[in-house]
Chains A and B, each alone.
Chain A
Amino acid sequence: MIKLIDENGLRLDGRKFDELRPVRIEVGVIKNANGSAYIEHGKNKIIAAVYGPREVHPKHLLIPDRAIIRCRYHMSPFSTDERKPPQPTRREIEISLVLRRAMECVLFLEDYPRSIIDVYVEVLQSDGGSRCASITAISAALADSGISMRDLIVGCASGKADGQIILDLSDIEDKEGEGDMPVAYMPNLDKITLLQFDGIFSEYEFKKALDLAIMGNKKIYEILRKALMEKYFKTEEK
Chain B
Amino acid sequence: MIHPDVKEESVSANLLRAIFSMRVKNWPNGMLIKVFVLADEDHLHHDFSKDKLNVFPYQLRQVWDRLVFSGTGQAPTKVSSSDEMLVKVVNTPGAVGYIETAYINDNIHILQIK
Q: Verify that A and B bind, or say they do not.
A: no
Contacts from A to B (Cβ < 8 Å): none
Contacts from B to A (Cβ < 8 Å): none
